[in-house]
Structure 1
Amino acid sequence: MPRSPDFVDEAEGDEKGTRRPNPIDVHVGSRVRFRRMLLGMSQEKLGEKLGLTFQQIQKYEKGINRIGASRLFDLAQVLGVPVQFFYEEAPVGEPSQLVPDGFAEKPAEGSIVEFLRSRDGLELNKAFVRISDAKARRAIVDLVRSLANDETNDNSVG
């Protein structure tokens, strides 16, 4: 299987040579960010543990700089996950199919994974797992379902 290029040209013949990161590098970087945030770790702290600057961590997380195999192994050790964690839910297909239309694409509506990666999603989940009372957790889930159903019903009324 042919390997996709490190960077994909944004437009052929662009005299400025504008390029964007490879989608797999962006995905791996977003998984680094997701795990770091889930642990409540700053970019500075992660960088310290790896002997890197926070700027380098930012570049990894955005997919601007490719993460090498040994660095990915080190990241997995520090973040307490197996290396394959970074590839979970990675885009598949031909390299030309993996090229996004732009950096600021909105996630698909109802995307659970994207919500969990968001600041609100992380905060909600971190707080929820600290609730020790099973009945209280169940009541929260029921409340959220009820609110979501109310919104669905409100939107369907024409």
Structure 2
Amino acid sequence: MIGNDIVDLTLARKESNWKREGFLDKIFTTKEQILIHKSKNQEIMIWDLWSRKEAAYKIYNRKTGFRAFIPLQLECFQIAKHIGKVVCYDYCFYTKTQITTKYVHSIAVNEISDFKRILFLYSRKGIIKKNGIPVIHGNNNSISISNHGNFEEIVMLCKENLQS
């Protein structure tokens, strides 16, 4: 399975006051807050962690059918630069994050080897929703769509490796 999340940094700056009292406590664990406070760019670290949590939650929701606002149950850990893992209850997901001056984009998968099977789609053609989850008509590959502000990413997890 695959999940992804994109944050338009311009829109996030307008819509979210992450400095307001209680914001960090509501969204981030104590360990994550330490990462944020130690970061050279706290704002980017916040959206990095947030996008990883959201991407992982999309897989968790598909696996369990459970829908709820549970950001404190999704905890992010850093493995390497831009590679991480998110733990949610008994589940573990791996994330890869791209950070630019305009957006933060994270992709979550079940296994780290799944990163070799990701295909970026540039059109919604053929994509339908079944029970609120995007799928390509006649195809069983896992798809995730994320959009925020001026940005959208559609990713698919293919059956075979696309990279060697």
TM superposition score normalised by structure 2: 0.27
**Higher Cα radius of gyration:** 1
TM superposition score normalised by structure 1: 0.28
- Structure with greater helix percent: 1
Relative contact order: is structure 1 or structure 2 higher (C-alpha 8 Å, sep ≥ 6)? 2
